[in-house]
């Protein structure tokens, strides 16, 4: 049976979850794109190996939870995982993409990196854009159908030649009891997707709402912004 108890220290924060066992905590860690450096696993293993009953549990959105931590242990793990996502957008899901996957059509990891760089440069506030789901091809490795905003890799003809692009999906959901696939709005050139999302994020943050709140009554506005790029 599980007998570990807290050490009397407490901790709180965006990535800290209080467990039902008094005094114990979980730290959430989401490497950008789900791609931690291989050395990170050795670093975490060395850190937690002498911590009683501490485990890593993987999540279906490319993150992990380090569980059964005392407050003092959680503080150490939190510091060791500061390289992970700090905003909702940075927790976006992306498959490994065409740079590695033989079936991949587009480089979904690079697409995510370009989006994050553009959002940071534009000062998009946390929550103004949702967790994205990006697949490099029509297969579902990036679970693009179930994201509030999703993309799957494809091509778009420009001047009678194929150009890198992604199909835009909106309003998917994987919450239990509310499951639905998103609706396809059209195809956007890969190099225009960061600008599209910056324009969308700016429109959302100007209302003072999060994207999840905004989308409920502003789907026509979303479609109008997307239409400029499709």
- The terminus-to-terminus CA distance of the chain in angstroms comes to 57
Closest of 173, 176, 102 to residue 139, by C-alpha: 102
pLDDT digits 0-9 by tens, 85-111: 999 999 999 999 999 999 889 999 999
CA 82 and chain centroid, separation? 15
Cβ atoms within 10 Å of 216's Cβ, excluding its own: 9
Asked if residue 39 lies in contact with residue 83, where contact means CB atoms within 8 angstroms, the answer is no
Q: How confident is the model at residue 1 (pLDDT cuts 50, 70, 90)?
A: confident
Q: Write the DSSP symbol of residue 76.
A: H
Residue that is written with structure tokens 């690079």 in the block = 110
Please report the domains of the chain, with CATH numbers, ordered by start residue.
16-80 (3.30.1370), 89-227 (3.30.413.10)
- CA 89, CA 85: separation in Å to the nearest integer? 8
Give pTM, 2 decimals: 0.93
Q: Write the DSSP symbol of residue 96.
A: -
pLDDT digits 0-9 by tens, 178-220: 999 999 999 999 999 999 999 999 999 999 999 999 999 999 9
């Amino acid at each position: 049976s599980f007998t570990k108890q807290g050490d009397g220290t407490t901790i709180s924060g965006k990535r800290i979850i209080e467990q039902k066992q008094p005094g114990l905590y979980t730290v959430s860690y989401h490497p950008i794109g789900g791609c931690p450096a291989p050395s990170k696993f050795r670093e975490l293993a060395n850190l937690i190996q002498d911590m009683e009953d501490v485990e890593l549990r993987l999540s279906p959105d490319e993150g992990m939870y380090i569980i059964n931590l005392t407050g003092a242990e959680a503080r150490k793990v939190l510091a060791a995982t500061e390289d992970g996502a700090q905003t909702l957008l940075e927790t976006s899901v992306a498959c490994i993409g065409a740079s590695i996957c033989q079936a991949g059509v587009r480089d979904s990891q690079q697409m995510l990196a370009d989006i994050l760089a553009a959002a940071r440069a534009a000062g998009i506030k946390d929550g103004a854009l949702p967790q994205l789901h990006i697949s490099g091809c029509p297969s579902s490795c990036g679970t693009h159908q179930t994201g509030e905003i999703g993309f799957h890799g494809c091509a778009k003809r420009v001047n009678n030649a194929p150009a890198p692009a992604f199909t835009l999906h909106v309003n998917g959901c994987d919450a239990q009891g509310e499951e639905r696939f998103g609706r396809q709005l059209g195809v956007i050139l890969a190099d225009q997707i960061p600008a599209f999302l910056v324009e969308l994020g700016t429109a959302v943050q100007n209302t003072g709402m999060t994207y999840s709140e905004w989308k409920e009554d502003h789907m026509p506005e979303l479609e109008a912004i997307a239409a400029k790029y499709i």
